[in-house]
Structure formats: C-alpha cells, structure tokens
Amino acid sequence: MNFSIDAAYKSLNKIKEELCGDKVELLKTVDSDIMILADGMGSGVKANILATLTSKILGTMFLNGASIDDCIETIAKTLPVCQVRQIAYSTFSILQVSHDGQVYLAEFDNPSCIVIRKGKIFSLPFTERVLENKVIRECRFQAEQNDCFILMSDGVIHAGVGNLLNFGWSWQNVAEYALSAAKETLSASRLANTLIKACDDLYMQLPGDDTTVAILRITQARSIDLFTGPPYNPEDDTRLIHDFIHSQGKKIICGGTSANIASRILKRPLVTSLNYTDPSLPPIAKMEGIDLVTEGVLTLSRALDLIKQYKDGPVDEQFFEELDKDNGGSRVAKYIIEDCSILCLFVGKAMNEAHQNPSLPFNLSIRLHLVDQLKEAVTAIGKEVHIQYY
C-alpha cells in the first residue's frame, strides 16, 4: 500500500492532578507503526507510573518482535499488585499497522477502538482469549486507504457522568460524534483536539478522570514541493524550475525573486493579491499551476514558528484558529502539517543582501538557516524531507 501514517494524541489530567494516569507511545519499526495507550489504575503519580511502565514494556517488547502472550506475561509479573483491590494493572490498547496494510489490534479493559471506514463505523472482527487471567480482545484485518482508528481511555466514555449526562458519554455516542468530526478534517491532531474538547466540555472543565484520545489515520502518501531562493548561478534558473515543476507534489513558491523567476521561465503571469489579511506579512500571490505563492523569509519564519509550536505541543483550539488564517505563513504551515507526508525543498543559494546579518559568518544567509531549521522541525513531526540546493 502506498500510504502514510498520521498519528496524534491528546489528554486531560484528572482535576487537581499534575500528572496524567494515561500514557501513549508512538513507535515505528522497520515494517510497521505501533500505537499503545495504557491507562494506569487510579490517578496521579501512581497511575502515571503504572501506565508508563505498561506502555514502555509493551513498546520495547513489541519493537523486539515479542508476541502479545509474552508481553502480557511480562506485565503481569512486573507490575506491583494494589494492596486494597488485589489487582495490579494498567489497562491497555495496542494497535499495529504493518506497511503491507495488515492491522493487529489487542485490547485489555480499555473502551474498544473506533474504526471509521468510508464514512461509516467499521465493525471489528474481535476474538477473545484469556492470558494470565486477563481477557484479551484481539483482531487482525486488512487496512484500507483513509481508515481512521481512535483509541481511548475510559475517561472518554465517563465524560459527563453525574453532571451533563447521567451515565456518561456512551461508546456509541463517542463513535457517532467522531464520525461527524472526521468528515471535517483529515488531520489526526485536529481530530484528537476536537474529541478531547468535547470531553472537557462534558466534564464542564473539571475532568473526573484522566482522559485520552489517540488517533491513527491511514492517508495517501502526499508530497509538497517548495521552491525558495534564486540559484547561485542565474544559468541554473531553468534547471531548477524544470525540476520543481516536474516533481510530483503540490507546489509552493516562497519569495518574490523566486516567484519572478518561475513567472519568467514558465511564461505565466504573477498576480499579487491586494488583500492584506495580516499587516505583519506581505500578501500572497497567484500563478497558474502553483498552489501557493508567498513572500520569502518573513513567511517561512511564521510557518516555522507554527510547525515548532505543533511539534512542541500541546496544541489547542487557538493553535488551529491560527493555522486556518488566510495568510502566507499559516497556509504554508497548514500544507506541511496537514497535507504532506514528504516535503521536497528546492533551495537556491544566491545571497540576498537584505538577509545578511553582520554577526553571522558571511556565507550563511538567513534563508539557508531557515531551511535547516525547517528540515529539523518537519522531520521531528514525522515527515520525510528532501532538499536540493542550486
């Protein structure tokens, strides 16, 4: 399958607790992506330790090819037993998506995974077996493009208990809400944010339990081609534009000089917008066949700030409001965060006098420094980055 994995999670801590008793691990092996959600018993420090131990043990063993049987046995023997209830544990869900599209899902005591396929809730072919006195539900099936998997801790289905809803938010209610929210966005982080906000609202901003939503989406591998900066040798203009135009992805040009080079070689007019949506950024422009044309360094700096904010998290509604704004920086960041699995940068090395900083080495322009930072930040959010310099 030619697909890309988009994964994200979001948690609410139980009221008055500094640590979350839920823990999510996102792991990549040579041939699969793994998401683990562990929910430690109780709340606070103890729950956090139980959940961390569980997710780390499961993650480490799975990465090393251990079977679910070995994992459960190890967890049962490792975790301390609660003196009061005589049970030791953290509940967990494990989702593994292989690069050939095979899905393996195992659950112990967590609410069942919601799978959205082709605009409907997909019914999972679960079987049950008992391992170390624990009932494990598991299933294997073939993934399809655009499948969306939602793992959750029981704080999600308990949201609203005794307040807005007598018996909490049932699994069916969560599934229906997720289904409608998933139609609005392809982004895992945006969907996680939408669902966790709904939980927070049902708890009336006073969560009665640790609450976590973890989303994994299978999307088509999508690439973005971004051209910025004129080549060092003007005779390379044509070669750069040829490489850029014949690459496979959506097209973005950042920089006035870069846009003029493209306009001249492609013989396509460049039309600048007069719509200043953000006074601190120059307006965007239009060119036939190019998805987005913006100013250079200021716009890239704004996009980089947003990508770093996304990387460092947690992101909230305000972040997505900023990402949805109609300015060059937000639009570049949104393309990279939500519509891209491979970023191809076509970077000219010509110096722009305006970008020189006397405190920097003479051969280091601000643009090239920005490109290095952009590569680092975009790689950190799980995307591939390729750079060609001219």
* Whether the predicted pLDDT of 233 surpasses 70: yes
Q: How far apart are CA 20 and CA 288, in angstroms?
A: 50
- Tell me the pTM: 0.86
Q: How sure is the predictor about 363, in pLDDT bands with cuts at 50, 70 and 90?
A: very low
Residue 287 in this model has a pLDDT that exceeds 90: yes
What value does the mean pLDDT of the chain take? 88
Task: Dump pLDDT digits (tens) for 158-216.
Answer: 887 766 555 668 899 999 999 999 987 668 999 999 999 999 999 989 999 999 999 99
How high is the pLDDT of residue 33?
A: 92
**Residues 24-82: tens digit of each pLDDT:** 999 988 889 999 999 998 888 989 999 999 999 999 998 888 888 898 888 877 776 66
Q: What is the model's pLDDT at position 358?
A: 56
Question: Phi first, then psi: what are they for 295, rounded to 5°?
Answer: -65, 170
Neighbours of 234 (CB within 10 A): 11
pLDDT number for residue 259: 95
Mapped onto helix, strand or coil, the DSSP state of residue 73 is helix
Quick one: average pLDDT of 5-12?
A: 92
Closest CA to 107 of 118, 96, 120: 96
* pLDDT at residue 35 in the model: 96
Q: How far apart are CA 225 and CA 345, in angstroms?
A: 6
Q: What is the rounded CA–CA span in Å between residue 153 and residue 130?
A: 21
Give the model's pLDDT for residue 362.
40
Measured in whole angstroms, the distance separating CA 175 from the mean position of its chain's CA atoms is 20
Domains of the chain: 3-220 (3.60.40.10), 223-389 (no CATH)
The larger pLDDT score, comparing residue 355 to residue 174, is at 174
pLDDT in tens, 110-159: 999 999 999 999 999 999 998 887 888 999 999 999 999 999 999 999 88
- pLDDT above 50 for 268: yes
pLDDT for residue 258 is more than 80:
yes
Q: Mean pLDDT, to the nearest integer, of 207-235?
A: 93
What is the predicted pLDDT for the residue at 313? 77
Sort strands 384-389 and 342-347 into parallel, antiparallel or unpaired: parallel
Share of the chain above pLDDT 70, in %: 92
